[in-house]
């Protein structure tokens, strides 16, 4: 299989930093995506990693280690509007996205 | 608005009926994907097209499901003889792909299907 594992739920405080981890099977790995999904809405793209290292985009950063089959999404200066599900998705050989179950993040004041 | 659009947004149907959903991708995108999402889960891949050619179908896609993209633009997903287990959000996404690289997929708002 191509299990994509990420925590089911996380909580954090407004203004804090949170790291959401994702692990995946490495065989056939092509690239890794992070999407944000608010309740009842479509997923929206956050980041794409294909090479090892950190990609920074404003308050959000994503890290990839291809050899370890590991990625994380780092959210800084959390805001209430960041309360959402964060989906880790991987492409293997083909272009289809294989998603994890998502991590539901709740930000409290 | 030039994003991905889907129609209808909501569909309630009785078990055994047929339903058809439509997706209009971003106009310059050559790839179109269908996913299904149930509550508390990530989206599951169903099928995808490169222009009008259907390149891959998931084993989740039983023979009751069929998808088309006749002119390489919009796509339809039909479910025949619906079952209660078909209740889900059906998401369409599109992307521009060149060569073997993966690119961001843009998702539409989804069609929520409820089978009673």
Question: What are residue B3's phi and psi, to 5 degrees?
Answer: -80, -175
Average pLDDT, chain B: 93
A92-106, B11-25, B101-115 — most confident range: B11-25
Of the candidates B110, B105, B95, which has an alpha carbon nearest to the alpha carbon of residue B37? B110
For residue B92, is pLDDT > 80? yes
Which residues in chain A have Cβ-Cβ distances shorter than 8 Å to B43? 43, 87, 97, 99
Confidence of residue B116 (pLDDT cuts 50, 70, 90): very high
A104, A11 contact by CB (below 8 A): no
At residue A1, the pLDDT reads 46
B96, B102 contact by CB (below 8 A): no
Name residues 25-84 of chain B within 8 A of A (Cβ). Answer: 31, 33, 35, 40-45, 48, 55-56
Instruction: Print pLDDT tens along chain A (109 aa).
Output: 468 999 999 999 999 999 999 999 999 999 999 999 999 899 999 999 999 999 999 999 999 999 999 999 999 999 999 999 999 999 998 889 999 999 999 999 9
- Does A9 reach chain B within 8 Å, measured CB to CB? no
Beta strand spans in A1-109 (E): 9-13, 18-23, 29-37, 44-49, 53-57, 60-65, 70-75, 84-92, 98-99, 103-108
At residue B2, the pLDDT reads 76
Closest CA–CA distance from residue B81 to any residue of chain A (Å): 26
Spatial distance between the Cα atoms of A32 and A97, rounded to a whole number of angstroms: 9
For residue B101, is pLDDT > 60? yes
Residue for token pair 């099928």: B47
Of the candidates A30, A14, A24, A4, which has an alpha carbon nearest to the alpha carbon of residue A103? A4
Q: What is the mean pLDDT of residues B102-115?
A: 92
**A69 conformational bin, left if phi > 0, alpha if psi -120 to 50, beta if neither:** left
At residue B100, the pLDDT reads 62
């Amino acid at each position: 299989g191509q299990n994509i594992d990420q925590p089911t739920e996380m909580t954090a405080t407004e203004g804090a930093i949170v790291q959401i981890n994702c692990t995946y099977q490495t065989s056939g790995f092509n690239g890794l995506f992070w999407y944000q999904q608010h309740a009842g809405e479509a997923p929206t793209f956050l980041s794409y990693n294909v090479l090892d290292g950190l990609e920074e985009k404003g308050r959000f950063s994503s890290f990839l280690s291809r050899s370890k089959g590991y990625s994380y999404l780092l959210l800084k200066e959390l805001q209430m509007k960041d309360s959402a599900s964060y989906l880790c998705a991987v492409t293997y050989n083909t272009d289809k996205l294989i998603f994890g179950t998502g991590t539901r993040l709740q930000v409290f004041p | 608005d030039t994003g991905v659009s889907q129609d209808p947004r909501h569909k309630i149907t009785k078990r055994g009926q047929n339903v058809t959903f439509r997706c209009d991708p971003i106009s310059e995108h050559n790839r179109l994907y269908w996913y299904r999402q149930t509550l508390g889960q990530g989206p599951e891949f169903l099928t995808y097209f490169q222009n009008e050619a259907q390149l891959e179908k998931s084993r989740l896609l039983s023979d009751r499901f069929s998808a088309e993209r006749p002119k390489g633009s919009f796509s339809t997903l039909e479910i025949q003889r619906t079952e209660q287990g078909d209740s889900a959000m059906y998401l369409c996404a599109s992307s521009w792909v060149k060569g073997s690289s993966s690119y961001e997929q843009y998702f539409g708002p989804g069609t929520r299907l409820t089978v009673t």
